[in-house]
Structure 1
């Protein structure tokens, strides 16, 4: 019998590898899935680490890294690491360009370059948003949240501005909500009041806030439906959510804005208010 020859090509860069990982997420063996999750959450560690240190951090054997690379049509660990190092070189070049701007045009050119860089990243994030969100899933999320007695907003660290904005907008739109994350430290007490008639909206991006994941899982375990916004199928929020949405922000010089995430949150907030008006 003729030998089957794979027609798949190895990924040309980090973005292609990331897409391939997400496409095959459901079919990956347990150990390869561990490496996939670790690699997407800690790309710099893959670029700088040794096979032994990366394997230890991911909780696998070093040989599993080779199997992971071969699963995605690469020769071995060195080929895998090369993709992550190339990603870093692309980021580093932006710093070198900024230094050239300083030498050639002074502080104004440097500041203008940074501004233009963030504008460009914002455009890329927003351009990708439409393709990333399933319209039917978005409608289901709106209906679920609009029908809730109270919407609990869960977010920490970089994600907190999103929930803070939604709380402000819900207040203006007269949508009952509870912002989780108080200076009084009574988050658990607030969440304990939620029932199956309520719903939660959770936000977390890599590196994920462990407290947000714990709170979202606790809500789901008690029968409170959770809608989440995150940046990976490997996010801890994805596994406990009724509906979850993946939004990946483009970055400039390693800094990620919230352009697409805020646009999503604004659309969701207004859609919920409009849906409640019709009920």
Structure 2
């Protein structure tokens, strides 16, 4: 059972609950993070109720007791609903009762689900649309801040092997958006951003849109501030019990877009890749 199901159960049962349990149910709806993070006694005190009220509510909803109900809220919080400190708190709380193997399994399972969602028809269509935008752009500017910088860096780095029209907005020495001054109509901005959304990423998108650039947004929700103005929008699931939202889907999308661009590149791309490999050999970048 997940939190959405619990919310529906509360809605269905609310009118038939006695007044005390209605107060407990209302508190659970309004304060889910408190349920996830605190003991039954602490939650009851915050709600102005006796601890037994929270236990009775859990039983009324079909759980064995408060801790079983709390585990649903704890899983919901761990999957991305909380602040970094709250997510870390959940990790530490589970660390006392779960073996490392259990956490590893959950991490891998979450990312398998995230990646599987890329195969949904709407996501595949979005990826194709994004590739169309990028393939036709005279120049591609790439932005990904903080934990999503690896996805932006990978896209720019891999593209540099076979084309010479990408610029990574790296932010070195505070110059994040400086390169956008040279951007013009029909260029593209590829931007990666998850909640909490980096202010500079949103500002860069707004500036790029005003300059007539086409926007390819990889984000976590259609309600994201970088979603509404996108020419092509890829919504990436990023659930994980880890500290930050998972970067694995964003990296996978970056790899996929690069692969699609190579596949479209024809002989010219192959020649550029051969030149890049020759240059890497000349500098002995890799061990033989």
Query: TM-score per shorter chain, which class?
Result: 0.5 to 0.7
Is contact 1:47–1:85 with CA below 8 Å preserved after alignment?
no
- Pairing partner for 1:156 from 145, 161, 168: 145
In structure 2, which of residues 63, 70, 74 is the aligned counterpart of residue 88 of structure 1?
74
Q: CA deviation at 1:187?
A: 2.9
CA distance in structure 2 between the partners assigned to 1:228 and 1:188 by the alignment? 17
Are 2:254 and 1:265 equivalent residues in the alignment?
yes
| 1:250 is the counterpart of 2:247 | no
Identify which of 98, 106, 114 aligns with 2:95: 98
Query: In the alignment, is residue 128 of structure 1 matched against residue 117 of structure 2?
Result: yes
The 1:119/1:192 distance shift into structure 2, 3 A limit, reads: same
State the match for 1:141 in structure 2: 130
88 and 274 in structure 1: CA distance in 2 versus 1, 3 angstrom threshold: same
How far apart are residue 148 of structure 1 and its match?
1.0
Please list, as runs of the form range in 1=range in 2, the aligned pairs for 1:168-183 lying within 5 A after superposition. 168-183=157-172
Instruction: List runs of 5+ in structure 2 lacking aligned partners.
Output: 8-28, 36-68, 79-88, 269-288
- The DSSP-based 3-state class of the residue aligned with 1:172 is coil
- Partner of 2:199 in structure 1? 210
CA offsets 1:145-182 (integer angstroms, 9 cap, x no match): 11111110011112111101111111123242000023
- Residue by residue over 1:243-275, the C-alpha shift from the partner in whole angstroms, topping out at 9 and shown as x without a partner, is 111112121255432222211111111212322
In 1, distance between residues paired with 2:174 and 2:242? 35
CA distance in 2, matches of 1:152, 1:84: 44
Q: Kindly indicate whether the alpha-carbon contact (under 8 Å) linking 1:132 and 1:246 is maintained by their aligned counterparts in 2.
A: no
Cα separation, 2, equivalents of 1:206 and 1:173: 32
Shift in Å, 1:124: 1.6
Alignment pair present for 1:224 and 2:213: yes
Aligned length in residues: 203
Is 1:277 the counterpart of 2:263 in the alignment? no
Bigger Cα Rg: 2
In the aligned structure 2, how far is the partner of 1:122 from the partner of 1:13?
A: 18
Counterpart-to-counterpart distance in 2, 1:127 and 1:260: 10
- 2:51 match: none
Q: Secondary structure at the match of 1:88?
A: helix
The aligned counterpart of 1:67 is none
Contact residue 152 and residue 201 of structure 1 kept, 8 A:
yes
Shift of 1:94: 6.4
- The 1:46/1:212 distance shift into structure 2, 3 A limit, reads farther
Distance (whole Å) between structure 1 residues aligned to residue 215 and residue 6 of structure 2: 29
Matched with 1:233 is 222
Answer whether contact 1:175 1:273 (CA < 8 A) is retained. Answer: no
